[in-house]
Each structure stands twice: as structure tokens, then as C-alpha cells.
Amino acid sequence: MPPQLKTLLPFLAVFICIFLVARYFLIPESFGKYGHYRANSMTETEALPTHYAGKANCVDCHDTEAAKLASDKHAGLSCEVCHGPGAQHADDPEKNKLIQSGTREFCGRCHSINPARRTEIIHQIDIKEHNPEHTNCIDCHNPHAVWELKD
């Protein structure tokens, strides 16, 4: 056996032992049960409190917006996609307000040009070129009836 191997083999053995001990302590017990995932994460996620109210709760109070939205291209979306989680708002609307962002960046998350999105499903615009003098899309577009321009 070459002398270099006699020197390197103990280092390799120590490295492998350290790796195995670290792996034992760092990899969760349930890892790998369902493939390359930590199985206990599903139970932990299930135990988290729900923050979403659901579209039905929104319609109870906001029937005018819901009626406009029902005939729009956004009809399939939950209100909480744009307005955020609404469970606290549904419990106490006066105390807990929802976001009403209509900025170019916010709307651009879905509507900016992205070759990976299908244009026949999501209308895309170049947010840098489309009416750059407006900072908010909702200045012109009603998000509950997008193809209706505001007066």
C-alpha cells in the first residue's frame, strides 16, 4: 500500500464517522417515508391555524363586488388571492382591514409578461410600457370587473 494512502485512510475514516453522526442528528426521523420529504411536516402544517376565510364569507358582506366579479375573468379566483388572508377580517371587519393594493408591481405579479404563462389564460402586459404615468392599475381598471374602465 502506498504511504499516501496510509496517511489519508485515517482522515477518510474520521470524515465518514463525523458525516454519519451529523447525519443521524440532523436528518429528521420521518425523512424519506414518502420520498424525498419529511413526513411529519404534513401533520405540523395541518396543526397551524387557518388564516383564510374563503370566498363565501367575502360574498356575505360584499355582494356588489361579488356580482361584478362573477361575470369577470377573475371569477375563479378567491378574493384572498389579491386581498390577503381574511379570517380576522371576517371575525371583526372594523378592526381588521384587508389590503387593497392595485399597484403596478402587485398586479404585475400575475399580469406582467412571462413566457411561461399561457396568454390565453392570463392577460399579460408590459408594465413598464403600459400607461407608465399611472402608478396604480386600479386608477383605470376595476379589479372586480377588469375590462370595465373606471370613469
Task: Please give the model's pTM, rounded to 2 decimal places.
Answer: 0.59
pLDDT band at 14 (very low <50, low <70, confident <90, very high): very high
Q: Return the percentage of the chain with pLDDT > 90, whole number.
A: 19
CA 114 to CA 20: how far, in whole Å?
A: 44
> For the segment 99-145, what is each residue's pLDDT rounded down to a tens digit?
778 888 888 888 888 888 888 778 888 888 888 888 888 888 887 77
Q: Which residues contact 96 (CB under 8 A, 6 or more apart)?
A: 88, 89
Q: Which residues contact 139 (CB under 8 A, 6 or more apart)?
A: 102, 150
